[in-house]
Amino acid sequence: MPYDLKEIAAISGMPGLYRLVKPTRAGVIIESLDAKAARSVASARNKVSLLQEISIYTQDYDQTVPLTEVFDRIHLKYGTELMVTPKSEDRDLSAFMGEIIPDYDRERVYMSDIKKLVQWYQAVSSTLEYQAPATDTEEAATAPAEEVEAPTAATTDEAPTKKSKVKKKADDTTADQE
């Protein structure tokens, strides 16, 4: 996952994006993703939408593209500097969206959604660090290290478990009764 969007949310009635810091009884403590990083409390009345759970509609009615994948595509193509802004002309924004997701559903994805996508990407890319996805060679290199750390049969036989101790005591009590 290129950007970690697990704790980043859009909150209804509040402009911008926020990092969820800690839940409270009345809502959640949030921190703005701008330069101020101001903390406040979002009440339970506000609708909190995690960016990780948002997707973009495609022409295939049953398929969507997760926002994390959309951000990854944007970063691979443009980096952190986009050629469009939320105030760009509609045809430029549509062309931008068509480059990122060629088969996006033009009837269900509104221009306001594309503007919001651009705004969110700019906020996320300026605040969070991009983490390159792991390649197959990196995963193969880490696999043997994980196997070495796994417990062997010899180590599990040396240390009796609580269950075996309890069974021994139960066997001893039955031997005493006979």
Q: What is the pTM assigned to this prediction?
A: 0.68
Please compute the mean of the pLDDT values over residues 75-95 and round it to a whole number: 91
The Cα 99–Cα 82 span in angstroms is 12
What pLDDT, on the 0 to 100 scale, is given for residue 155?
Answer: 42
Mean per-residue pLDDT over the chain, rounded: 77
Which among 4-8, 58-62, 129-133, 155-159 has the top mean pLDDT?
A: 58-62
Position 5 scores a pLDDT of 82
Average pLDDT over every residue of 90-112: 94
Q: Which of 103, 105, 172, 133 is nearest to 1 (CA)?
A: 133
pLDDT at 126: 82
Give, as one character, the DSSP assignment of residue 79: T
HEC per residue, 49-74:
EEHHHCEEEECCCCCEEEHHHHHHHH
Please say whether the beta carbons of 127 and 77 come within 8 A: no
When comparing pLDDT for 13 and 103, which is higher? 103
Encode pLDDT of 123-165 as tens digits: 888 887 766 665 544 444 444 444 444 444 444 444 444 444 4
For the chain, what are the domain ranges? 8-51, 55-127
Return the sign of the alpha-carbon dihedral for residues 140, 125, 111, 50. Answer: positive
With CA atoms as reference, report the closest residue to 86 among 58, 54, 123, 36: 123
The whole-number average pLDDT for the span 60-84 is: 90
Class of 8-51 per CATH? mainly beta
